[in-house]
Amino acid sequence: MILGCHVSMSGDKMLLGAAQQAVSYGANTMMIFTGAPQNSRRKPTSQMNITQGWHYLKQHQIQRIMGHAPYIINLGNTKDLSKYEFAIDFLQAEVQRCAALQIEALSFHPGAHVGLGAPVAIKSIAQGLQEVLKSQPQVKIALETMSGKGTEIGATFEQLAQIIDLTPNNEQLTITFDTCHVHDAGYDIVNDFDGVLLEFDKIIGLDRLAMIHLNDSKNGRGSHKDRHTNIGFGQIGFKALNYICHHPQLAAIPKIMETPYVPLAQNPKKAVAPYASEIKMLQEQQFDPQMQQRLSSS
């Protein structure tokens, strides 16, 4: 089972610090942003402590790391061409940073149509991705399944398949399957995950699956809300997420948790990462109904 979580690459340690976090949680894979997800400020890769980071990762038998593109990129918005061109340029630079960091796949929110309509946005997303992919980068771009809030593109497998089909150089175009997003988009992964997986395979293909974001959801199926919660404490539940995590067809796929930190009872302004407890639960296949309470009082 390849199971890990999102960790922070910040401060002077950068990749080394992120690797140390992942190991402290018992993870054997991890996902990082190359910088803050809400802005375009990035350190040069020469300052990201890559050599030391990878030395530490290999010491602890971590061979595969994932990336996440910042939220500021929207290839679905062509109302302002300068912003569209910025999105392409920044994604190109992000892919180059990921290559330097030896990231396997970059999870990427396809974009939102901002009133232009889904067909227009799907074409512009494919055109933007083609600009990035025509240079044949080594890093995979993993289109993320979305919940469908607002004017998001990618809430259906069909939309993601259309983007792939419209991108000529699509060999490195893959998919991130986010359990919270897919559930909130309306797919019944709680009662019929195998059926959803079969549908995904028919429309997109399991060979395109790069990673799974393993998250519970605060909201019901089809809510289009996109609000993550801790494993077993949401509307998807531990049984379904544990089944996905241990699914034999997904054994080689990295599973990344992006669940929220748990506020401390004595100081609600501070919070602690739940990942060590969540990884332990999934490894032991045993739900701890007091996990959040136990963490909050620690």
Q: Is 181 annotated as a binding residue?
A: yes
Q: What is the pLDDT of residue 40?
A: 87
Q: What phi, psi does 134 have (nearest 5°)? A: -65, -20
In this structure, the strands spanning 173-178 and 216-217 are: unpaired
How far CA 292 is from CA of 219, 264, 297, in Å, comes to: 18, 9, 9
Question: Is 213 annotated as ligand-binding?
Answer: yes
Calculate the CA 104 to chain-centre distance. 12
Task: Give residue-wise pLDDT tens across range 17-52.
Answer: 999 999 999 999 999 999 988 888 899 999 999 999
**Is residue 178 a known part of a binding site?**
yes
Ligand-binding annotation for 246, yes or no, is: no
Q: Is 113 annotated as a binding residue?
A: no
pLDDT band at 212 (very low <50, low <70, confident <90, very high): very high
Domain containing 101: what range?
3-297
Pairing type for strands 29-32 and 65-68 reads parallel
Distance (Å, whole) CA 262 – CA 230: 9
CA 63, CA 43: separation in Å to the nearest integer? Answer: 24
Cβ contact 170:133 at 8 Å: yes
Predicted pLDDT of residue 39: 87
Q: What angle do CA 13, 15, 16 make, to 5 degrees?
A: 55
pLDDT category at 55 given cuts 50, 70, 90 is very high
68 is in an annotated binding site: yes
Q: How many domains are there within the chain?
A: 1
> Which pLDDT value is given to residue 199?
98
89 assigned to a ligand binding site: no
Count of beta carbons in the 10 Å neighbourhood of residue 283: 13
109 is in an annotated binding site: yes
The CATH number for 249's domain is 3.20.20.150
Does the pTM surpass 0.95? The reply is yes
111-152 pLDDT, tens digit each? 999 999 999 999 999 999 999 999 999 999 999 999 999 999
Please, are residues 221 and 183 in contact by the beta-carbon 8 Å criterion? yes
List pLDDT tens digits, range 221-280.
Answer: 999 999 999 999 999 999 999 999 999 999 999 999 999 999 999 999 999 999 999 999
**The pair of three-digit structure tokens given for residue 12, joined into one six-digit string:** 């002077």
Predicted pLDDT of residue 150: 95
pLDDT band at 214 (very low <50, low <70, confident <90, very high): very high
Rounded alpha-carbon distances, angstroms, from residue 176 to 39, 262, 288: 22, 25, 27
Q: What pLDDT sits at residue 124?
A: 98
Instruction: For the chain, give the percent of residues with pLDDT over 90.
Output: 96
| E-assigned strand segments in 33-91 | 65-68
pLDDT for position 10:
85
Nearest partner of 101 among 39, 176, 26, 19, judged by Cα: 19
